[in-house]
Amino acid sequence: MLGRSVELRCQSDAIPPPTLSWRKDGRPLFRKPGLTVSEDGSVLKIDSAQVQDSGRYTCEATNIAGKTEKNYNLNVWGTSPGLNGVSRDNTSLIVTQCLGLPPLYSHPTIPLSVHFTLCSERTRRPLQNLDPYKSAGLDNLDPLFLKLSAAIVATPITILFNLSFVSSEIPKDWKVAIVIPLFKGGDTLDPNCCRPISILPCLSKVFESQVNRQITDHFESHRTFSAMQSGFQAGHGCTSATLNVLNDIITAIDKRQYFSPSIRGSEDVSPMTVIEGSLITLVCESSGIPPPSLTWRKNGKKDLLELNQVLTCLSGGRSLRLMHAAVEDAGRYSCIVSNTAGEERKNFDLDILVPPSIVDEGTVQDAKVKEKHNVTLTCEVAGNPVPEITWLKDGQSLGTDRRHQVLSHGRYLQISGAQVDDTGRYSCLAHNRAGDRSRHFNLNVLVSPTIVGSGPEGSAEEVTVTLSSPTSLVCEVQSYPPALITWLKDGTPLESSHNVRVLPGGRTLQILNAKEEDAGRYTCVATNEAGDSLKNYEVKVYIPPQINKNDVPGEGLAPKEVKIKVNNTLTLECEAQAIPTPSLQWYKDGQVSTLP
């Protein structure tokens, strides 16, 4: 409520403790009389809230880990203390400043905003307080009549008062006083024995008291000065200053003196910035006699209120408020005030700050690249102003070198000839004055399979096993991600059996009881996303020699007896089967034969 104190609190449990700062409507907020910020910045206090204190207050907490914000939309409601019962759209406003020395208003040409609106309740009271024993003025309205009928006539009289402001014309009967002599004693014909007194019309007194009361209330409610304020020369106190203002206003209305409008700060274009979605208020403090009309335009187009219902005019139009600023609200806003004496305008260049946005923000992209290949990570960013983009790897700033290059103002990170140690979490950070955003990438460098001991293409590792013995073929694979291992035999996918099996994981093939048919070419094939590799194994099953014993006595039997005539030829046959082909040795009487 108007005139009450308000506290805005901003507390953070961050580690390390953050630095707290305040902004109002996007602009830095500094201490001033009536507004204090605690030493640590956690409490902002306004001692006596005024309409101009309304706005969007932002507390920003910043430490080495980042920053965050908390927003308050402060609305100060209620009318000035001297305007009970007046709607906000008709609130009276006097733009003034207590200058101290010399006298505040010494000439009626000082510009004033005199948009007064008096209310019937405030008119009724002075009517009821009229002295019924006083004489009537030239308007012949008896004080007793006005006192007794105050409840009835207050409203039409108030309308008449307000009409005087609108038309800049005071009824002539209010301006003429009846002058009568007041005798001090002595000869009534002697002018020296009397002094003239003037009797003003009652309504003239009520009218001036109303204006005086409203001026005084405005000064005090806006903390401009009060009647008890010191520091003025004799005759120049605040009461005197208020009466001077009153006299200037009444005189100006009476003489229909017009002063062209003026706007505080109209010499310069006011740049304004606000974060998208925030509240922004454009204030146009104007003055002039008669009261100027005020309109707002954007980029030279017609009245803003006809174009955009999101806009709200406050305080009779002197403030233009955008509740939720959007990008399309950016542009040049013009406050135009005019009256019969002329026209003045003030321009505001409004820029809407848009926090960074990143395509697919909030998702983590899994990126893959084959070893020694190139990869590009893309960070599509938008915002106003154009965000600055930086890249991190595993939380640390990423330096650029021949293999790591940042292109197109940070939109692309290109990695040439990817290596295994390029695997990691990459982060794209976008920052501008409106905020920060980030996006993350998990990059995996794929390594094609390599089989330990594999030779040139087509070569094979020789493996031998004795018939009925076990053996194992081991396929050691190095790759990322882990490769899928399959086995072939003589070019055909191997089917496991009770005698030949592949252990879980595929790296080991076991032959439990080697048979002659198990011999052949076995191939280990390792495959992943990056490629494939193979290794051949030439398995040979060795068979111990076996001599064909047909016509040969069995073991334990006597040797076969062979007879031949002297000088005849004898052939003894020894047919043996084995893998590999066996070597044969003959013995005679247990001794190695030396026959040629």
Write down which residue in 30, 56, 74 finishes a domain: 74
pLDDT at 580: 85
Write down which residue in 355, 390, 415 finishes a domain: 355
Tell me how far apart the alpha carbons of residues 177 and 175 are, in angstroms, rounded to a whole number: 7
Residue 94 resides in a domain: no
Residue 591 resides in a domain: no
Pair 292, 276 in one domain:
yes
Tell me how far apart the alpha carbons of residues 408 and 490 are, in angstroms, rounded to a whole number: 55
Pair 160, 28 in one domain:
no
Provide CB contacts within 8 A for 475, sequence distance 6+: 451, 485, 506, 507, 508, 509, 524, 526, 535
Tell me how far apart the alpha carbons of residues 448 and 531 are, in angstroms, rounded to a whole number: 5
- If you write DSSP's letter for every residue of 189-207 in order, what string do you get? T-GGGEEEEEE--HHHHHH
8 A C-beta contact, residue 451 and residue 534 = yes
Pair 219, 113 in one domain:
yes
Pair 480, 366 in one domain:
no
Pair 221, 273 in one domain:
no
361 token code pair = 């923000």
pLDDT at 267: 60
CATH no. for residue 37? Answer: 2.60.40.10
Write down which residue in 240, 256, 272 finishes a domain: 256
pLDDT at 453: 87
Pair 38, 11 in one domain:
yes
Pair 475, 489 in one domain:
yes
Residue 143 resides in a domain: yes
DSSP state of 93: B
Tens digit of each residue's pLDDT (9 = 90 or more) over 327-343: 988 999 988 888 877 88
Number of structural domains found in the chain: 5
Residue type, 555: E
Q: What is the pTM of this model?
A: 0.50
Pair 222, 249 in one domain:
yes
Residue 518 resides in a domain: yes
Domain span at residue 125 reads 105-256
Residue 582 resides in a domain: no
How do the pLDDT tens digits run along the chain, 596 residues long? 667 889 999 988 888 889 999 898 888 887 778 888 888 889 999 988 876 788 888 999 998 878 888 888 887 764 332 222 222 222 222 222 222 222 333 333 333 334 456 777 778 888 888 887 777 766 677 778 778 888 888 887 777 777 666 555 666 666 555 555 555 565 556 556 655 555 667 777 777 777 777 666 666 665 555 555 544 444 445 565 566 655 666 665 555 555 555 665 556 677 888 999 988 888 887 776 667 788 888 888 766 655 444 555 555 557 888 888 899 889 999 888 888 778 888 899 999 999 999 998 888 999 999 999 999 999 999 999 999 999 999 999 998 888 999 999 999 999 999 999 999 999 999 999 999 999 999 999 999 999 998 888 778 999 999 999 999 999 999 999 999 999 999 999 998 888 999 999 999 999 999 999 999 999 999 999 999 999 999 999 998 888 877 655 555 556 778 888 888 888 888 888 888 888 888 888 778 877 66
Pair 301, 395 in one domain:
no
Dihedral sign, CA of 486, 491, 493, 496? negative
Residue 556 resides in a domain: no
Tens digit of each residue's pLDDT (9 = 90 or more) over 57-86: 899 999 887 888 888 888 776 433 222 222
pLDDT at 74: 84
Tell me how far apart the alpha carbons of residues 497 and 517 are, in angstroms, rounded to a whole number: 13
Pair 376, 420 in one domain:
yes
Tell me how far apart the alpha carbons of residues 126 and 132 are, in angstroms, rounded to a whole number: 12
484 token code pair = 């899928």
pLDDT at 430: 94
pLDDT at 260: 54
DSSP state of 581: P
Pair 522, 477 in one domain:
yes
Alpha helices in 168-314 (DSSP H): 202-221, 238-254, 304-307
Pair 336, 391 in one domain:
no
Closest listed residue to residue 413, CA positions, set 437, 434, 429? 429
8 A C-beta contact, residue 485 and residue 526 = yes
pLDDT at 349: 92
Residue 426 resides in a domain: yes
Residue 285 resides in a domain: yes
Residues forming beta bridges with residue 592, ordered by sequence position: 587
